Structure 1
């Protein structure tokens, strides 16, 4: 399994960057996890939009789905230019029907509702879900493929259920929208110390901090997380690739 970070900023993208978007690849299958603002401008550096095999969304806040419409039009236009490819499945939860219906566009994309209490098969990936602590329905995801596991938190304040859900994962892609001295619970976000504790108690092998704040010195997040977790900690970076 290979992870490539496309965008990692929380809320909105910084200049020439992107908000949440992550490419997972295994056995030639390309799965885009979230599709925030700026993702479609960055994605072609790794893979063309028409080469994606599936998309899955944690929730419907704009910094996670803003470029879905752009993705749909990219595939539409490439079809007009003569390329042929199947309808792209976009997996999302059905607890916001207004947003869910937008995932289907002509024969270009089709919205498919995942059931959070069931394991979902997408290509070579087995995906499990955990409802997060966020102002709107949002789901963390555990991806299993090739004997490896990756957990993506989506957006969430810390909750104890994360520990068992993420137990012994090879990689934790953890939101970290707040610094250690801040309390992000009311906003539905985690701070750096909580992310470190999460990684330690779950027995994570490697921690990547993402959904980063737009202020302060983000490198401080690594130092703060290391108070709790002594394993590998990295900040998410554009086009960062990690092979598991």
Structure 2
């Protein structure tokens, strides 16, 4: 059958390269069925609700702050070793349109554990809405995609295997979610130590949450305990911060009414 050949776009070359470096990682998945009722109720009380992406991002960053294993990476230069970072750098996957094509691009958020939910929401909305070439990480990635393949892949290998550079270029963990489209990703690939995703969230707060992890860095029991603690953080510290957002909004509304 006669078809037509399509040239790989810059974003598709980036995905191909990331898959090339991801395919050899011994990745395992651990899933926990969570009940996030406390967080659901706190979120529903707000008029301007923060996205679930932001809430999971903040909770996972707080979890990684407690568990250094989630801030470690397996690197190969100058020899195989684990490298531990003092803080997290989140890599967030976004679907954007570029040159008439729907593509996936990654933005980075440094130190999300110490950023308020409102600030994280703003950073993610900027990455989702600002013109692609105005987002620093998108612009840099698309520029790298135009470098000849052998040089591009060498640069990516160095970025992934030099400990001090890896987090700055790729992050310490990735968050990639399709639940907003009514679907779940069961076997995503990433070159990072962990990838977090979750399924559809029920009205009662029930949801499947998964951590896909590099078995060279940690073991399944660590991840199972991490998911148990993650559920408590989401229903505790994150839900408490969401409640404070509601209180702050009520105070601001009261001041506005008083000044009219």
Q: TM-score, normalised by structure 2?
A: 0.28
More strand by share: 1
More helix by share: 2
Which structure's relative contact order is higher, taking Cα pairs within 8 Å and 6+ residues apart? 2
